[in-house]
Amino acid sequence: MRFIIDAIVCNFCIQRLLQLARRRRKRGIRGGGPTLHVIAGGNYVPATGGDDACTWNNGVMTSLANAYSWVNSIYVSGSSVYAGGYTNGNGAANTCACYWNNGNIMLLTNLQNSIVNSIFVSGGNVYSCGNIYDTASSRYSACFWLNGSCTLIDNFDSWSTVNSIYVSGGDVYTGGAFTSSGVTKACYYDQNASSQFVLFTSPSCVSNIFVSGGNVYSGGEATIGGNSVACYWINHDGTTHQLTNVISGVNSMFVNGTDIYAAGYFCAGGTAGQLRACYWKNGVVTELTNVYSQVYSIYVNGSDVYAAGFYQSGGNDWACYWKNGQITVLPDAGQGSVATSIFASTY
């Protein structure tokens, strides 16, 4: 009799487990399967002082360098987290362009002051861009690296930088600025920097570039009506899409289908110094907080909009991100922090 009861109980348990499994499948739940990772990169100030590069993965912070360093850009490929920026540690003689792959550092140069502003991974290749200093001309030149090999964009003919890189269809697009006749002008380069397109002839700059549907979207700021204002350009047709009249800027672009997102800041009441984190969707602004703050990076995953940056409290900046307008403060165990980049990926 006992064996019969045990068999009945065992059969019931099996049926119950199968029923739960079916329910989990209907809900899209997979035990031990891929997980959504919200990954941010930036910098924090340790309790002992200084500036240390770091990343956050679902809110867990990892310090990347015990030296003056910064993460400016994040890219996730598979389960590999690439973080581009710079460091004064790891044997670097000066502020040195570098990137980390799952915490392992790759120095891109050790001879000149340099910086990585943006990183992108495509086809197993690591692309990064920024600028590098030339002591002979006392100028910074825009450049990009492919798997560590550097290509100068203007050969120190003028001051220049590229702040963002995007790879599409085998072509490398970089966006930034250069100086001509004493004026800093927004521009982007395509096809491995063989072509330059000047987007605005008055003081201006491209902060971020995004390629979608064969179109190149460049976000930044331009001096219009006496103010430096947030704007973006599509390709190089001469049209400047101005987002507001007050002092403002676009730090990041993202295109999702037909929706154009531009994230950055505006000055509340038009007052300089009253920065407010925000993003524009198809030209309509969403203010994320009413305290001093800024968005440096935006990422759209399905219907979710992630915007990373900082807000100010108690005299310090604190790294955070907003998901659909709801704030998540990122821990730093220090005296302040900033999130400069965000990426959402399932692996």
128-136 contacts at long range (C-beta below 8 A, 24 or more positions apart): 128/73, 128/84, 128/97, 128/99, 128/165, 129/162, 129/163, 129/164, 129/165, 129/174, 129/176, 130/72, 130/84, 130/97, 130/161, 130/162, 130/163, 131/160, 131/161, 131/162, 132/97
> What is the C-alpha separation between 127 and 211, in angstroms, rounded?
15
> What is the C-alpha separation between 181 and 162, in angstroms, rounded?
19
Write down the pLDDT at residue 8: 34
Same domain, 108 and 2: no
> What is the C-alpha separation between 238 and 186, in angstroms, rounded?
12
Write down the pLDDT at residue 90: 61
Whole-structure pTM over 0.85, yes or no?
A: yes
Same domain, 280 and 317: yes
Same domain, 19 and 46: no
- Please compute Rg for the chain using Cα positions: 23
Same domain, 59 and 102: yes
Low-confidence ranges of the chain (pLDDT < 70): 1-32, 90-93, 111-112, 155-156
Same domain, 189 and 213: yes
Range of the structural domain that residue 168 is part of = 39-346
Write down the pLDDT at residue 29: 37
Same domain, 250 and 225: yes
Q: Which residues contact 162 (CB under 8 A, 6 or more apart)?
A: 117, 118, 129, 130, 131, 142, 143, 144, 153, 174, 175, 176, 189
Same domain, 193 and 312: yes
Same domain, 22 and 107: no
> What is the C-alpha separation between 60 and 226, in angstroms, rounded?
43
Count of domains observed in the chain: 2
Same domain, 203 and 297: yes
Same domain, 20 and 162: no
Same domain, 2 and 85: no
Write down the pLDDT at residue 134: 83
Same domain, 170 and 191: yes
CATH number, position 67: 2.120.10.30
Identify residue 137 by its one-letter amino acid code: S
